[in-house]
Amino acid sequence: MGTNVRPADMARITTPELAEAFISGQIKELQAQIGDKKVLLALSGGVDSSVVAALLIKAVGKQLVCVHVNHGLLRKGEPEQVIEVFRNKMNANLVYVDASDRFLDKLAGVAEPEKKRKIIGAEFIRVFEEEARKLDGIEFLAQGTIYPDILESDGVKAHHNVGGLPEDMKFELVEPIKLLFKDEVRVVGKALGLPDNMVYRQPFPGPGLGVRCLGAITRDRLEAVRESDAILREEFARNGLEGKVWQYFTAVPDFKSVGIKDGKRTFAYPVIIRAVNTKDAMTATVENVPFELLQHITARITAEVPDVNRVLFDLTPKPSATIEWE
Ligand code: XMP
């Protein structure tokens, strides 16, 4: 519905007042489009789908059915936050699907990065489709498409690059933020009352921690990625780097090295820290993280994360490296 071209005279949404005007206009449009029908939304907890959910909750309340698929590759605390914000605080109709085991079983033994991405994308569509089939009378599918998605690709979000829902499940699309740039989405999200750590969160790839648990994913290394990432995020927030550094995360490779703990020899995994800045993700520079902070994070990770005995800092800009390791 509607144009895919941003009108030349459309004002950039930079203030709460402009966001409020956008929100009230969209509520009217959404109500006119949807009427008394039901809308389905895959809610990842990322800023785009969260803003779409919050808009639709305001416009059509319980006619919106949000499906949050936990593929087991989310960051620590993410599924809990989606449930807390949308089900508990906003009183949304939220279906929570814990599909972790399913995804991890499908991914077992698969080491090739593109194959891993394909499996995660395809399985995501399958789980979402199964949930959609359980619901009656859905006529609309909401999507968090934003303007760069339209400009850079065919209007389909990058992590949905494996096809989509089958022919017999074609819904009419609802895309309320498709003419907005990312910074505008954040201003609207803030005006909708979403928490700061949801609105200003750093980019997170669709395949999630799956591309940071390098090689064939194992549960022990996946936990090491999740726990070390949580420590890194906590320390960056505590030291004023949250919102200042564009993207930061940890990755865990699929090899072990020798170390020593409590006087005993260990044979365990390294954790790699990556912290980069970029404008468009095409090139990136490495953040100059204070050395004392890196030492402190290293001490915490090696003390608190099981099966880890080393921490490495990735000094490589893009190019020659990519931002992610896979
Ligand atoms: P690279 O690693 O290509 O990453 O330098 C550039 C940006 O894109 C993100 N990224 C992805 N996002 N699905 C996504 O939705 C993916 O498969 C994917 N791979 C990379 C990455 O986190 C970085 O912000």
pLDDT value, residue 44: 96
pLDDT value, residue 168: 83
> Could you say which architecture CATH assigns to the domain 212-313?
2-Layer Sandwich (3.30)
The whole-angstrom separation of Cα 218 and Cα 94 is 29
* Distance (Å) from CA 213 to ligand 1 centroid: 14
Residue with CA closest to ligand 1 atom 24: 203
Query: In Å, how far are 45, 77, 111, 234 from 213, measured between CA atoms?
Result: 21, 18, 10, 20
Measured CA angle at 95 (ends 90, 96), to 5 deg: 100
Per-residue pLDDT of the chain (326 residues; tens, 9 = 90+): 678 999 999 999 999 999 999 999 999 999 999 999 999 999 999 999 999 999 999 999 999 999 999 999 999 999 999 999 999 999 999 999 999 999 999 999 999 999 999 999 999 999 999 999 999 999 999 999 999 999 987 655 544 434 578 888 889 999 999 999 999 999 999 999 999 999 999 999 999 999 999 999 999 999 999 999 999 999 999 999 998 999 999 999 999 999 999 999 999 999 999 999 999 899 999 999 999 999 999 999 999 999 999 999 999 999 999 999 99
The whole-angstrom separation of Cα 131 and Cα 141 is 13
pLDDT value, residue 155: 53
The whole-angstrom separation of Cα 235 and Cα 252 is 18
193 within ligand 1 shell (Cβ under 6 A): no
Beta pairing class for 308-313 and 285-286: unpaired
* Distance (Å) from CA 150 to ligand 1 centroid: 17
The whole-angstrom separation of Cα 41 and Cα 65 is 6
pLDDT value, residue 113: 98
Query: In Å, how far are 6, 60, 99 from 34, measured between CA atoms?
Result: 22, 8, 30
Measured CA angle at 310 (ends 263, 212), to 5 deg: 145
User: What number does the ligand 1 atom closest to the CA of 324 have?
Assistant: 2
Ligand 1 pocket test, candidate residues 229, 320, 323, most atoms within 8 A of CB: 323
Q: Are 165 and 128 in contact (CB under 8 A)?
A: yes
What are the tokens at 15?
A: 């203030």
Question: What homologous superfamily is domain 16-199 in, according to CATH?
Answer: HUPs (3.40.50.620)
Query: In Å, how far are 79, 123, 128, 131, 227 from 98, measured between CA atoms?
Result: 9, 13, 12, 12, 19
The whole-angstrom separation of Cα 60 and Cα 31 is 7
206 within ligand 1 shell (Cβ under 6 A): yes
209 within ligand 1 shell (Cβ under 6 A): no
Residue with CA closest to ligand 1 atom 14: 205
Burial zone of 278 (CB within 10 Å; 0-12 exposed, 13-18 middle, 19+ buried): middle
Note the residue count of the chain: 326
46 within ligand 1 shell (Cβ under 6 A): no
* Distance (Å) from CA 313 to ligand 1 centroid: 19
Where in the chain do CATH 3.30.300.10 domains reside?
Answer: 212-313
207 within ligand 1 shell (Cβ under 6 A): yes
Where in the chain do CATH 3.40.50.620 domains reside?
Answer: 16-199
What are the tokens at 264?
A: 């005993």
Q: Are 216 and 77 in contact (CB under 8 A)?
A: no
Residue by residue, DSSP assigns 75-102 as PTTHHHHHIIIIIIIS--EEEEEE-HHH
Residue with CA closest to ligand 1 atom 22: 205
Residue 40, phi then psi, degrees to nearest 5: -110, 140
Ligand 1 pocket test, candidate residues 119, 120, 211, 324, most atoms within 8 A of CB: 324
Packing angle of the helix pair 47-60, 182-191 (nearest 10 deg): 40
pLDDT value, residue 159: 43
* Distance (Å) from CA 324 to ligand 1 centroid: 6
User: What number does the ligand 1 atom closest to the CA of 278 have?
Assistant: 24
What are the tokens at 206?
A: 């669709």
Residue with CA closest to ligand 1 atom 4: 323
User: What number does the ligand 1 atom closest to the CA of 326 have?
Assistant: 2
